[in-house]
Copies of this chain bind each other. A is one copy, B any other.
């Protein structure tokens, strides 16, 4: 079989530990399904700042560009938090998104049955929640001009939010297509009663919707969406929105599932290329202690196998193995009710490999 190339970026904090478990799982899919992967490791984030003097070294970008997909652990930590902008892990994150053209961030928020009590929401409200936030990732206020200037009333700061029709259209089409493969409902979130970029956004959504007559569309104002996610989470299927709103709403949606240590994400460009990473952060407080939950990273790998490589059999096998291990009662400490019975990062990885 064709050898697929995966760039592996362990990153900071618990990143290396959770990525190591995902790599075990990857190896197992080779044995089970005959697929063949070549992995290449690269430095990124805080560790790259320390070792190379920049969060996103040129070599790392080259490794990613040369690969079919990227697996990322997590980046950042207090060590780099007060660095100047160019020497911060986030700057690397924004840089890699732009450089790889990753315009679409897919964040499924699902409630794992065995974890439904972990949410701060009432179980009956959460029942059936299974939504996907599709966030525009390379435009908007994140990437517009930003500067300081002297205004009439002293120093001022400016950020610019820009969207063009093509940028909106490609993400919106992708969201409609995802909705077609799910429950056929799309909520487009904007602030069209205030923002010009939102009015453009809504015009494009309305025009594009004509090509997806089987998808039920609603327009939701961002403030209202922040409320409705709390009131009726299960009623959402796919939510599509611009970069800044997506940042806020996807985190709100993730937290309401109560399963944040288990959520995967994909950042996609044109074609099948994608960067896959867990939703959780680098958790420096528990790094290096075999305490981290590797499931979100392993499920991110499953997303990669499905979306980039089209290896649905392998993705299914991984997801089924995760479900089985959880159903058998195994828990890392973040999701354990009885922490004294919690297993470690490596043990969880081994159990998932064994269950495949």
Q: Which A residues form the contact surface with B (CB < 8 A)?
A: 88, 90, 94, 120-122, 125, 141-142, 144, 146-148, 151, 153-167, 191, 193-197, 199-201, 222-224, 226-227, 230-231, 244-245, 247-252, 254-256, 260
In the complex formed, the residue of B with least CB distance to A76 is: B193
Chain B residues contacting A90 (CB-CB under 8 Å) are: 193-194
Chain B residues contacting A167 (CB-CB under 8 Å) are: 153
Docked Cα-Cα span, A155 to B222, in Å, equals 23
Additional 4 contacts, C-beta under 8 A, given A88-B193, A148-B196, A230-B252: A141-B161, A157-B197, A191-B244, A227-B251
Docked Cα-Cα span, A227 to B254, in Å, equals 8
Q: Tell me the number of copies of this protein.
A: 2
Is there contact, CB below 8 Å, between A248 and B222?
A: yes
Chain B residues contacting A154 (CB-CB under 8 Å) are: 164-166
Q: Which of A122, A199, A248 has the most chain B CB atoms closer than 10 A to its own CB?
A: A248
With known contacts A141-B141, A227-B254, A255-B226, A161–B160 Cβ distance under 8 A: yes
Chain B residues contacting A156 (CB-CB under 8 Å) are: 162-165, 200
Docked Cα-Cα span, A250 to B226, in Å, equals 9
Is there contact, CB below 8 Å, between A158 and B151?
A: no
Residue from B121, B141, B249, B260 in contact with A226 in the complex, judged by beta carbons closer than 8 Å: B249
Residue from B151, B160, B163, B230 in contact with A255 in the complex, judged by beta carbons closer than 8 Å: B230
Chain B residues contacting A161 (CB-CB under 8 Å) are: 141, 158-161
Docked Cα-Cα span, A245 to B125, in Å, equals 26
Is there contact, CB below 8 Å, between B231 and A196?
A: no
Residue from B88, B153, B160 in contact with A166 in the complex, judged by beta carbons closer than 8 Å: B153
